[in-house]
Every structure is written in C-alpha cells, then in structure tokens.
Amino acid sequence: MLKNFFFLSIFCFISCSSSEEEINIVNDIAYCKAWNDIEVFANSSEMNSKSDWDKRIQLIESLISKLSDEWKGPGQTYLKIVKARAELLGQYNYVSSEELPNDILKAFIDKYYEEQKQADKLIDYLKTVC
C-alpha cells in the first residue's frame, strides 16, 4: 500500500507540475506577444507625436494586463516612467530625448533613477524569456 501511495504521489507531482508549466507557457506566450508588439512598434516609429506615445502607452497597458502578479508592480512602474517621458517630450514638441536641454534630461533621469532600475528588471526578464 505504501508503494502505491508513493507512485500515486509521484504521478500527482508530475501531473500538477505539467499543468503549472502549461499555464506558464500560455502566460509566457501572451506577454511575449505583447512585449514583441512594443518592441516592433518602438523600432518602427519615430516616436515624435502624441499619437505615437499614446500607442506605446496602450501597448504597455496591454502587456501589464498579461503579466503575472509578481511582475505587475514593475510593469506599472515601467508604464509610469513612459507616461512621464511622453509628457516631458510633449512639452518640447516630441523631440527625441537627445534633443532635450541637458539640465532637463538630467533632472528627469535623476527623478526616475530608482524606478527605472525596477522597470529594467522587468525589461531584462522579458528580453530573457521572450
């Protein structure tokens, strides 16, 4: 009887692990597609208009909706920084970051430095997994 219980336990462990892995794979596919959409858009757009930034924000919101609870916080931080960047660049007619006055760019980087490190963890994770 103990032998049967042992085999049943192993079978349950393998079955439960497989189901959990299948769920993770489905989640990975969903947020990897959303991440890919963000990268494709960012690489194909000049990001020089409000509509470009609104689209990027929309894509990030879509990504966040697909992330596991563990990554939603860093996702929200990433979104916050992108929104702040869009707002700042909007004040300068959506020029590139390199075209901002140095003091303005430095102040922005300093303000969001710690939060950017959190967002970078999410970005690194997505680049690794996807």
Q: How far is CA 19 from the centre of its chain?
A: 25
Whole-number Å distance between alpha carbons of 89 and 106: 14
pLDDT in tens, 31-77: 899 999 999 988 877 889 999 999 999 999 999 999 989 999 999 99
Task: Locate 1 and state its tokens.
Answer: 């009887």
CA pair distance 96, 123, nearest whole angstrom: 21
Question: What is the reported pTM?
Answer: 0.76
82 close to 56: Cβ distance less than 8 angstroms: yes
